[in-house]
Structure 1
Amino acid sequence: MTSPDSTPSTPADRIRNAVARRVPGRSLEGPFYTDREFFDFDIAAVFARQWIAVAVDAELPEPGDRTSVEIGPYSVLLVRDDEEKLRAFHNVCRHRGARLVEGDDGSAGNLVCGYHKWTYGLDGRLLHAPSQPAGFDRACFGLAPVHLRSVGGLVFVCLAEQPPAGFDEAASRIEPYLLPHDLSRAKVAARSELVEEGNWKLVMENNRECYHCDEHPELLRTFFPTYGYSEADIPLRLRPAHQRYLRADAELRATFERLGLPYTLVEELDDRSTAFRIQRDALDLAGESFTPDGTAACRRLLGDLPTARLGHLALHLQPNSWFHVLADHAIAFSVLPLAADRTLLRTTWLVHPEAQEGVDYDPDTLQRVWRATNEQDARLVALAQRGVSGPAYRPGPYAPTEYQVEAFCSWYIARLREELNR
C-alpha cells in the first residue's frame, strides 16, 4: 500500500517520488489525478512536448478560415492560408500579448488584433503596426509558429521547440488506413464540446477499456462487448456475441482483401513517443455504422468506398485522442485539459462533402450513439474523480481487459521520467 509523502518536499520531489513508487498493473496514486502541481507538470511533460490532436482539416476548409484551441495555459491559432496550407501559431499578439482569436472566428482576410490593431497575414507575418517609430522592423514581430501536421485529414500540433522523434514514421503507417475515406475533403456535420468533471487521464483511461461497457446500451447495439478480451478470457455470457463477432470479422476480412483496404492490427501503445493503435474491426447487426440497427447514418459514403458494410476503423493515439472512421461518416475525439479536475472532450462528426442534411443524413441519428456514450462516460469519470480525491483511495489492480489502460499509464509515466531527467 502506498501513501502520499509525509515529509515536506518540493513539487518536483513529490512528483519524482510518486513516479518512482508507481506499481505497473495498478492505477496511479491520487495526486496524479487531483493536485495542481501534478497537473502543471502534465502540461509541461506531455501537452507541451508531444504531438497533440486538436482538429480536423474539415474545420478549416477555405483560405482565411481560422479557429483557436486551448491546451492548458496555451492558446493555439489554426488558420488556412491563401495557398490553402494549414498553419498554426501561438494565439498571442506580438505587441502586448492580447489574444487574436477567441474560439471559432469564422473566415476573413488578415488577422487583426482587437486591442491595438496590429495586423498579421495568414502566414504569420506582421503587416501593419500603427504609430511605430522610424526604424521599426516588422519582420522581427511575426506570430510565433507552432509545429503542425495533417495526417489523413486529422490535425496535430506540437508546442515544443523540437518535436519528439518518430511522428513521421507513425504517420506513414497510419495514413494508408485513413486515405480511402478522404477525410481531408469531408465536411463537418456536427460538433460537441463536453466538459467532464475529471482529470484528463481519467477521461483517457475510461476510453481505453470496455470493462464498463454495460453502461453504454446505445453503443452496445453495434459495438462488440468483447473488446479487450483474449479468446481464453471471454465469459460465458459474452460467448454468443463473440460468435457473432467471429462471423462478421471473417466476412469483413474477405471484403478488405478484395478492396485492398489495410485492416491488420498495429498496436504500439507504450514503447514509443508517438504511440498508437489502429485496426479495422467489425460492428454488430448490419455492420455499417453506429446506429440502433447498425445501418448507415449517411447515404453518401466517404471517399469512393463501394459498400457501407466496412465496420469501423478504430485509431487511438497517446496522449489525447481517438477516432472512429466508418464508410458513411467519421468521428474525431480530442481530450484537452482544463484543470486538475476538469477536461474538455471535443467530438466532431464528418460526412461526405456533398452530403445534404435532411436528405442524406439526419443530424440526430448521426450523433445519437456517441452523444449518449459521451454523457454516460462523463458521469463515470466524475464518479472516479470524486473517489480518487478521497483519503480512502489506494491504487487498485487492472483486469486483463484493461491492458490498454496500463499501456496508457506506462506511456504517461515514461514521459514524466523524461521531463524529470531533463
Structure 2
Amino acid sequence: MTSPCQSLSAPGELVRELLARRRPGYSLEAPFYLSEALYQVDMEHIFGQHWIFVAVEPQIADAGDYITVDLGVDSILIVRDDEMQIRAFHNVCRHRGTRLCASRQGMVGNIVCPYHQWTYDLAGQLIHAKHMSDDFDLRSHGLKPVHVRSLSGLIFICLAEQAPQDFEQMAAEMTPYIAPHQLSQCKVAAQVDLVENCNWKLTMENNRECYHCVGNHPELTISLYEYGFGYKPDALNIGRLQRFEEILAANHKRWEGMGLPSAEIDTLERRVTGFRTQRLPIDRSGQSQTMSTEVASRKLLADFVEPALGGLSFWTQPNSWHHFMSDHTVNFTVLPISATKTLVRSTWCVHKDAIEGVDYSVENLTSVWNATNEQDRRLVEESQIGIASGAYQPGPYSPFTEGLVEKFCNWYVNRLRALVR
C-alpha cells in the first residue's frame, strides 16, 4: 500500500494528481498535511507568492526599530526608517550572504553586517564597505527589497517579484473597519509564540470553524454567541437563531450610526488576496473577549467612550485572523516551520497610554486566548496524528458550521491550480 505521504517523481506531478482528485465538500487528502514535497510547494507558491500577515506597527513604533520574520529558509528584516516609513528587506548581506540581524527584534541606527561590517542605512542603501576597489559601486549593492504594506497598522509582506495587486482593493474595503481602532496609537502588551506539531493548514482550518468550540473552549465561549459561527436550523433552535439575527441587526445599526462599519464582507474564495470581516456582538451583553466579558483595559482605544463595541473579526488568506474590540486587539499570524510543525504568534495591543497594573493586567488581557490556543494546539496535534494513520480518508464538512473551512481549502486548491505548472 502506498504511504499517505509518499511523493511521486516530482512535486508538481504529485500536486496535479491530488488536485485532480479533489472532492468538493470534503477535507484534503493526507499528503497535503504530511508530504515534505507538498510543504515545499506551499512555501514556494502560497507563502512565496501571496500577501502574508507578519506583524503590527506598534512592534516598530520608532525610527530604527526592527523585527525579523522567518518564512521557510527566508529571513525578512522589517524596519522603520528615518522618515518613519516601513521597509522590508531580505535579511542577507550583499557581500557574502551573512544574516544581518539575528535577533527577533531590536533597534539600530544603521544596519551593520556582523561579519565584515558592510553598513546599510535604514532605506537599505549600502553606505560603507571597507577595503573594496576604487571602482566598487555602493549604489548597486543595496539590500534586496521585499514588498511591504500596512493596512491600518497591520503589516503584510510579499516575497513574490510581482505582488498580487488586489491588496489595494482589500485595503480600500477594510480601512473603514479597522482604522477607527487606531492600531498605530497602540503598544504591544503581550506576545506569545506557540509551536503546534501539525501542518499549517490544520491550524488554519481549525480557526475557520467553531463546530468544536462548545466542549473544547469554555473560556472563549463565555464571550462568543454560538449562533454567530453557524448552526443547523431545526425546530429546537430556530427561535434562538432568529433572536441572534435580531441582536446582530440591532447592534449593527447602532455601531454603524457611530461610524463603525459592521456588515459582513466575504471574499475568502473569490480573490487572490481573500479576506472576510464582520463585527459581532459579545455575548452576555459584554464588552470584550475576557473571562468576565468586561473590558480588559480601562483605557479604551482611540477616542472610544463606549466600551460595548462588539468584536470586529478579520480573517485573511492564507495565514491570519484578528479581533478588534473597544479596549484591545489580538492579532494572530501562522507561519509554517516544517511539513508537520507550525508557529502561531499571538499579539495583544492596548492603547499606548494604558498603564500595566493600573489600566490592565497582562494575565486578564491574555487569559482567554492563551487558554484557547493551548486547547487548539492539542486538537490539531491529535488531527495530525490521525491523518498520518493509514485509516485516514477525507471526510465531509458540515454545511452549517464548516463553510469557512471549505472556503479556505477551496482558496488553497484554486491557488495551487493557478500557480503550479
Q: When the two structures are superposed, what TM-score results if normalisation uses the length of structure 2?
A: 0.95
**Where do residues 87-126 of structure 1 align in structure 2 (5 Å cutoff)?**
87-126=87-126
Q: Partner letter of residue 378 of structure 1?
A: R
Count of aligned pairs: 418
SS at 1:394's partner residue?
coil
Structure 1 residue 132: Cα displacement: 1.0
Aligned counterpart, 1:27: 27
Contact 1:285 1:293 in 2 (8 A): no
- Please give the alpha-carbon distance, in whole angstroms, between the structure 2 residues aligned to 1:234 and 1:183: 41
Classify 1:96/1:6 alpha carbon distance in 2 versus 1 (closer, same or farther; 3 Å).
closer
Aligned counterpart, 2:176: 176
Question: Is 1:386 matched with 2:394?
Answer: no
Q: Partner letter of residue 370 of structure 2?
A: R
Deviations 1:8-32 (A, max 9, x none): 5322211110111111110000000
Structure 1 residue 244: Cα displacement: 6.3
Aligned counterpart, 1:325: 324
Q: Partner letter of residue 335 of structure 1?
A: V
Classify 1:5/1:96 alpha carbon distance in 2 versus 1 (closer, same or farther; 3 Å).
closer
Aligned counterpart, 1:279: 278
Structure 1 residue 347: Cα displacement: 0.5
Contact 1:333 1:348 in 2 (8 A): yes
SS at 1:226's partner residue?
helix
Contact 2:5 2:30 in 1 (8 A): no
- Please give the alpha-carbon distance, in whole angstroms, between the structure 2 residues aligned to 1:356 and 1:275: 36
SS at 1:345's partner residue?
strand
Structure 1 residue 7: Cα displacement: 9.9
Structure 1 residue 253: Cα displacement: 2.2
- Please give the alpha-carbon distance, in whole angstroms, between the structure 2 residues aligned to 1:266 and 1:388: 33
Deviations 1:234-267 (A, max 9, x none): 683x668646634542442232132121110001
- Please give the alpha-carbon distance, in whole angstroms, between the structure 2 residues aligned to 1:262 and 1:197: 38
Contact 2:185 2:352 in 1 (8 A): yes
Classify 1:7/1:294 alpha carbon distance in 2 versus 1 (closer, same or farther; 3 Å).
closer
- Please give the alpha-carbon distance, in whole angstroms, between the structure 2 residues aligned to 1:163 and 1:413: 19
Q: When the two structures are superposed, what TM-score results if normalisation uses the length of structure 1?
A: 0.95
Contact 1:60 1:80 in 2 (8 A): yes
Classify 1:14/1:181 alpha carbon distance in 2 versus 1 (closer, same or farther; 3 Å).
same
Classify 1:167/1:6 alpha carbon distance in 2 versus 1 (closer, same or farther; 3 Å).
closer
Aligned counterpart, 2:374: 375
Question: Is 1:53 matched with 2:53?
Answer: yes
Contact 1:224 1:241 in 2 (8 A): no
Question: Is 1:299 matched with 2:298?
Answer: yes
Q: Partner letter of residue 233 of structure 2?
A: D
Contact 1:226 1:234 in 2 (8 A): no
Contact 2:4 2:390 in 1 (8 A): no
Structure 1 residue 344: Cα displacement: 0.4
- Please give the alpha-carbon distance, in whole angstroms, between the structure 1 residues aligned to 2:6 and 2:132: 56
- Please give the alpha-carbon distance, in whole angstroms, between the structure 1 residues aligned to 2:48 and 2:245: 42
- Please give the alpha-carbon distance, in whole angstroms, between the structure 1 residues aligned to 2:286 and 2:369: 16
Structure 1 residue 182: Cα displacement: 0.4
Aligned counterpart, 1:223: 224
Q: Quick check: 103-112 or 304-313, which moved more?
A: 103-112
Give percent identity, aligned residues only: 48
Contact 1:263 1:280 in 2 (8 A): yes
- Please give the alpha-carbon distance, in whole angstroms, between the structure 2 residues aligned to 1:248 and 1:277: 21
Contact 1:248 1:284 in 2 (8 A): no
Aligned counterpart, 1:76: 76
- Please give the alpha-carbon distance, in whole angstroms, between the structure 2 residues aligned to 1:399 and 1:383: 20
Aligned counterpart, 2:348: 349
SS at 1:298's partner residue?
coil
Q: Partner letter of residue 88 of structure 1?
A: A
Aligned counterpart, 1:361: 360
Gaps of 5+ in 2: none
Deviations 1:87-121 (A, max 9, x none): 00001111111111124331120011111111110
SS at 2:46's partner residue?
helix
Gaps of 5+ in 1: none
Classify 1:103/1:164 alpha carbon distance in 2 versus 1 (closer, same or farther; 3 Å).
same
Contact 1:186 1:350 in 2 (8 A): yes
Q: Partner letter of residue 395 of structure 1?
A: P
Question: Is 1:185 matched with 2:188?
Answer: no
SS at 1:47's partner residue?
coil
Deviations 1:263-322 (A, max 9, x none): 100011111101010011111124210112211000111111120101100000000000
Q: Partner letter of residue 273 of structure 1?
A: V
Classify 1:31/1:5 alpha carbon distance in 2 versus 1 (closer, same or farther; 3 Å).
closer
- Please give the alpha-carbon distance, in whole angstroms, between the structure 1 residues aligned to 2:32 and 2:62: 41
